[in-house]
């Protein structure tokens, strides 16, 4: 039996999502068939809105709703606009906002430098970061790219380009052993970084 | 920062799918945001079609496309219409069709008997199975419910209700499939062996 076309199309579309293979895609599709139609319709509508209503903040390139020039963080006058945290993706902003204590604003690069994949400085939002990082307006740039090869290279590139602006402090998120982690199972590079970044406990 | 409403709605809708928690839902949503709009639109359209175009075969209750009275199996005159394989869900039909050797037709119950969840014989398509299982038209009923408590109870109930129709052989898939497992996830060879080793349930 051929699966009816409209059902196969749903399975195929689910399969294109990361981490979802053909079997999981089938399972999700038939789960939706078993439910009443509401869930499939809700998800369908949400996805259409996703592609139609999403816009990017003109200042930090975080996601926002079409029609709003700035994202909720940039348009919040309570935040410290002299402190910019540079992240790779919008999802990183959400992770950082979840801790609830960061009071500055963001800059979303939408990628990292990757010579292997042909991603250079002009392919991500580095120029826009440099443009908005004026010494009279910004005190600190916290580079929060992921601690891996590309993230490190991107962080170093940004630090170098901001090097001439002495009034601006360029910092990087501490690398070390995660809370709840165990030294026994940490990889060597992580232990090395944790050792290098060790903090004084007395005075 | 509050996530924009239309994005949160997509995350929430994904979270309602089985096996997808809030973190995976976020990851899928932001993956779609990173892609061009095509994938989100394709999935949106497919899901809308799923709820609008799906119909059920009037004979076997397998899924089919709206406007078609019978499913591709029932409307295929090459198939052996004297042999009915009874399954719980449409996904089971696809799993059985994948082995490629079964030549009969199907009956989809859309559930199993489950006193705990209050599912009785009238809540699933058992009456319709009994109605179409006429001795002059059917030679064999293969009960292919899952080999677990509810599936066994459902199989026994069907065998008992068909008990008076001596001309009809009622068989059950062999327990090549481990107890507690599900047909949906069984590999093809296991399903094939189980089909070959099906056991007679009456006399």
- What is the mean predicted confidence (pLDDT) over B112-136? 93
pLDDT digits (tens, 9 = 90+) for A38-55: 899 999 999 999 988 999
d(CA A145, CA B53): 45
Whether B2 shows a pLDDT value over 80: the answer reads: no
d(CA B4, CA B12): 12
pLDDT score at B203: 63
SS3 state at B18: coil
Q: Give the percent of chain A with pLDDT over 90.
A: 62
- What is the mean predicted confidence (pLDDT) over B117-125? 93
Angle among Cα A19, B40, A50 to the nearest 5 degrees reads: 115
pLDDT score at B1: 60
B44/A contact by beta carbon, under 8 A = yes
CA neighbor of B153 nearest in space, from B194, B191, B106, B115: B115
Higher pLDDT, A189 or B102: B102
Beta carbons of B162 and B168 less than 8 angstroms apart: yes
- What is the mean predicted confidence (pLDDT) over B187-195? 79
Interface of B with A in 73-132 (CB under 8 A): 73, 89-91, 93-94, 97, 110
Order of all β-strands in the sheet with B80-87: B104-108, B80-87, B140-143, B169-172, B199-200
pLDDT score at B111: 93
Percent of chain B as helix, strand, coil, to the nearest 5: 40, 15, 40
pLDDT score at B188: 81
d(CA A172, CA A139): 14
Residue with tokens 């399975």: A11
Angle among Cα A77, A79, A83 to the nearest 5 degrees reads: 125
Beta carbons of A61 and A128 less than 8 angstroms apart: yes
Beta carbons of A2 and B41 less than 8 angstroms apart: no
pLDDT digits (tens, 9 = 90+) for A87-112: 999 989 988 888 888 999 999 999 99
Beta carbons of A107 and A61 less than 8 angstroms apart: yes
- What is the mean predicted confidence (pLDDT) over A149-171? 91
- What is the mean predicted confidence (pLDDT) over B61-68? 92
- What is the mean predicted confidence (pLDDT) over B164-190? 81
pLDDT digits (tens, 9 = 90+) for B9-53: 999 999 999 999 998 999 999 999 888 778 999 999 999 999 889
- What is the mean predicted confidence (pLDDT) over B82-102? 91
Of A4, A40, A63, the CB nearest to B51: A40
Q: Give the percent of chain B with pLDDT over 70.
A: 98
Helix (H) or strand (E) holding B29: helix B22-34
Residue with tokens 């038209």: B137
pLDDT digits (tens, 9 = 90+) for B51-60: 889 999 999 9
Query: From residue B11, how far is each of A34, A111, B17, B38 by CA, in Å?
Result: 21, 22, 10, 18
Whether A161 shows a pLDDT value over 80: the answer reads: yes
Minimal C-alpha gap between A30 and chain B (Å) = 7
Band of residue B192 on the pLDDT scale cut at 50, 70, 90: confident
Reading the block at residue A69, the tokens are: 């020039």
ipTM of the complex: 0.74
Q: If you compute the radius of gyration of chain A from its CA atoms, what whole number of angstroms results?
A: 22
pLDDT score at A203: 65
Specify whether the backbone of B146 is left (phi greater than 0), alpha (psi in -120 to 50) or beta.
beta
Mutate to test the interface with B, among A47, A52, A75 (most CBs of B within 10 A): A47
Return the minimum-mean-pLDDT range out of A145-159, A164-178, B19-33: A164-178
Average pLDDT of chain B, as a whole number: 89
Q: Enter the pTM of the model.
A: 0.73
Interface of A with B in 14-43 (CB under 8 A): 14, 16-19, 23-24, 26-34, 37, 39-43
Residue with tokens 């090869």: A149
Minimal C-alpha gap between A5 and chain B (Å) = 8
Whether A157 shows a pLDDT value over 90: the answer reads: yes
Chain B residues near residue A67 by CB distance under 8 angstroms: none
Band of residue A20 on the pLDDT scale cut at 50, 70, 90: very high
SS3 state at A63: strand
- What is the mean predicted confidence (pLDDT) over A46-69? 92
């Amino acid at each position: 039996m051929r699966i009816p076309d409209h059902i196969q199309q749903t399975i195929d579309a689910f399969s294109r999502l990361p981490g979802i293979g053909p079997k999981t895609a089938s399972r999700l599709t038939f789960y939706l068939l078993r439910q009443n139609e509401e869930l499939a319709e809700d998800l369908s509508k949400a996805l259409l809105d996703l592609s139609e209503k999403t816009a990017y903040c003109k200042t930090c390139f975080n996601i926002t709703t079409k029609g709003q020039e700035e994202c909720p963080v940039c348009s919040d006058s309570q935040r410290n606009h002299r402190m910019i945290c540079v992240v790779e993706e919008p999802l990183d902003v959400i992770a950082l906002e979840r801790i609830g204590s960061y009071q500055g604003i963001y800059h979303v690069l939408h990628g990292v430098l990757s010579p292997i994949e042909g991603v250079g400085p002009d392919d991500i939002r580095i120029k826009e970061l440099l443009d908005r990082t004026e010494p009279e307006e910004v005190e600190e740039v916290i580079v929060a790219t992921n601690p891996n090869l590309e993230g490190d290279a991107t962080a170093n590139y940004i630090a170098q380009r901001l090097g001439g602006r002495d009034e601006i402090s360029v910092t990087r998120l501490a690398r070390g052993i995660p809370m709840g982690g165990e030294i026994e199972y940490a990889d060597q590079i992580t232990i090395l970084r944790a050792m290098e970044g060790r903090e004084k406990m007395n005075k």
